[in-house]
């Protein structure tokens, strides 16, 4: 399970570098932070149950944040919905 956190760190690093390359600094910084957390967690040597609980907690926070952004932070745009 620790190797899966290294895989998550690798893919979040790739996404962070793409965001950095495309000049999306807030997104890049978020993914750089996630990379650091995933890499640090992967070397702690925790039990598999702990890794699963951490990942499930991460997914809950990520989905709640995503839903918040979709419903409350993004403006309504489109034909006749604003300017």
Nearest Cα neighbor of 32 from 52, 18, 51 is: 18
Read off the pTM: 0.80
What is the structure's pLDDT at 58?
94
Distance of alpha carbon 45 from the chain centroid: 22
Max Cα-Cα span within the chain: 55
* Res. 81 pLDDT band, cuts 50 70 90: low
Return the SS3 of 45.
coil
CA–CA dist 60, 35 (Å, integer): 18
- pLDDT tens-digit series, residues 1-35: 889 999 999 999 999 999 999 999 999 999 999 99
């Amino acid at each position: 399970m620790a190797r899966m956190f290294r895989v998550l760190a690798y893919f979040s690093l790739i996404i962070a570098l793409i965001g950095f390359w495309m000049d999306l600094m807030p997104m890049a910084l978020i993914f750089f932070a996630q990379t650091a957390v995933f890499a640090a967690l992967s070397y702690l040597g925790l039990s598999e149950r702990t890794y699963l609980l951490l990942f499930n907690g991460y997914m809950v926070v990520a989905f709640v944040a995503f839903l918040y952004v979709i419903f409350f932070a993004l403006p309504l745009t489109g034909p006749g919905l604003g300017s």
